[in-house]
Homo-oligomer: A and B are copies of this chain.
Amino acid sequence: MKLSTRGRYGLKAMFQLALHYGKGPIPLNVIASQQDLSENYLEQLFSALRKEGLIKSVRGAQGGYMLAKPPEKITVGSVLRVLEGNMAPVECVIDDTVSCDKEESCVTKLVWMKIKDSINSVIDSITLQDMLNEQKNLGK
């Protein structure tokens, strides 16, 4: 049960934007080369993040990307959900609609729900600002 590169690259890139928050846009190629990623691939991730309102872009020369909101308003969960889809371990616990035809009394479903809730409570409780703070502590 692994995250894909979308979540991994994406969160790291968002953190870069957070480090630069308030100082104007950063072009994609800068982030891509800092992290040694394909610029075109990262672009796809940023496109999704932009459509969901987490970042905004400035087109044209001297353009680039920046956070659409201050780092304390962006949770890790919101980033990961854009890039990875909902963070449920199985389809049947994504939302509350009954999706599992067979079993009304499915015990494994209870397990999957507990896993889902636990993941979500972690990722929704961490903001980019928290990560910035942790970065400072690591430096010391």
Please list the residues of chain A having a beta carbon within 8 angstroms of any beta carbon in chain B: 1-4, 7-8, 11-12, 15, 76, 84, 87-91, 104-105, 107-108, 110-112, 114-115, 118-119, 121-123, 126, 131, 134-135, 138-139
Contacts and interface: CB of A to CB of B under 8 A. Distances in A.
A125 to B, nearest CB: 9
Given A1-B2, A89-B2, A90-B2, A135 B107 contact: yes
A57 to B, nearest CB: 23
Dominant SS among interface residues on chain A: helix
A21 to B, nearest CB: 15
13 contacts: A1-B89, A2-B89, A3-B89, A11-B108, A76-B111, A105-B139, A107-B138, A108-B131, A110-B131, A114-B126, A115-B123, A118-B118, A118-B121
